[in-house]
């Protein structure tokens, strides 16, 4: 208790600590069928110290995997990326032979090749997300999937004949 001139009383200190969990986010991209797009994946450690992680992205039919490029935060933390595609599950492991923590920012980019027959908006869900601290202790966190929107091909204008006309007047 506390003592003051008017007697004794009790003071209560309320301390609010907002702890945020680590989170990775797969971006949303678009591209035409038959092209390759670059998909960004970002990371925010929240209030945690994350030194390594593993996650899966489900690659839908109509897409194939390409080059993986580590982002600036992995280069700064001296981390490597290992990836393996088994069926439609693309597993990523981010690790390093050090205890450096990974900051917030661009985790990596991946290339996705869109088949010539792909259409619509394709979901890129994330699963199996595991984070660990510098001591290898598991940290609870989240992962948010993204989308790839397949755009229609650019129109090709062909004409079997010729036409002449005057500007501002409809062709006949």
Query: Residues 120-166: pLDDT tens digits?
Result: 999 999 999 999 999 999 999 999 999 999 998 777 777 666 666 67
Buried b or exposed e, range 122-141, using 16+ CB within 10 angstroms: bebebeebebbbeeeeebeb
Strand order through the sheet with 63-70: 63-70, 105-114, 36-44, 23-26, 142-144
Q: What is the mean pLDDT of residues 88-97?
A: 97
pLDDT in tens, 146-157: 999 999 877 777
Task: Let me know: does 76 contact 51? Beta carbons within 8 Å.
Answer: no
Whether 169 shows a pLDDT value over 90: the answer reads: no
- In terms of DSSP bridges, do strands 63-70 and 105-114 run parallel, antiparallel, or are they unpaired? antiparallel
pLDDT in tens, 2-43: 555 666 677 777 766 566 899 999 999 999 999 999 999 999
What mean pLDDT, rounded, does the chain reach?
Answer: 90
- The backbone torsions φ and ψ at residue 92, rounded to the nearest 5 degrees and listed phi first, read -115, 135
pTM of the predicted structure, to 2 decimals: 0.80
| Percentage with pLDDT > 90 across the chain | 76
C-alpha distances in Å from residue 12, one per residue of 3, 17, 18, 19, 111: 14, 16, 19, 22, 55
What are the residues whose beta carbons fall under 8 Å from the beta carbon of 32, sequence distance 6 or more?
A: 114, 150, 151, 152, 153, 154
Give the span between the Cα atoms of 125 and 107, in whole angstroms.
17
């Amino acid at each position: 208790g506390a003592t003051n001139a008017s007697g004794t009383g009790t003071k209560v200190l309320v301390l609010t600590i907002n702890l945020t969990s680590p989170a990775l986010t797969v971006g949303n991209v678009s591209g035409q069928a038959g092209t390759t797009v670059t998909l960004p994946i970002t990371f925010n450690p929240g209030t945690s110290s994350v030194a390594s992680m593993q996650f899966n992205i489900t690659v839908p039919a109509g897409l194939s995997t390409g080059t993986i490029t580590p982002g600036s935060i992995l280069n700064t933390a001296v981390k490597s990326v290992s990836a393996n595609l088994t069926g439609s599950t693309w597993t990523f492991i981010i690790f390093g032979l050090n205890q450096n923590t990974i900051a917030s920012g661009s985790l990596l980019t991946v290339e996705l090749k869109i088949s010539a027959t792909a259409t619509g908006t394709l979901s890129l869900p994330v699963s199996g997300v595991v984070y660990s601290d510098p001591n290898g202790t598991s940290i609870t966190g989240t992962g948010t999937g993204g989308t790839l929107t397949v755009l229609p091909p650019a129109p090709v204008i062909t004409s079997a004949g010729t036409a002449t006309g005057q500007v501002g007047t409809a062709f006949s």
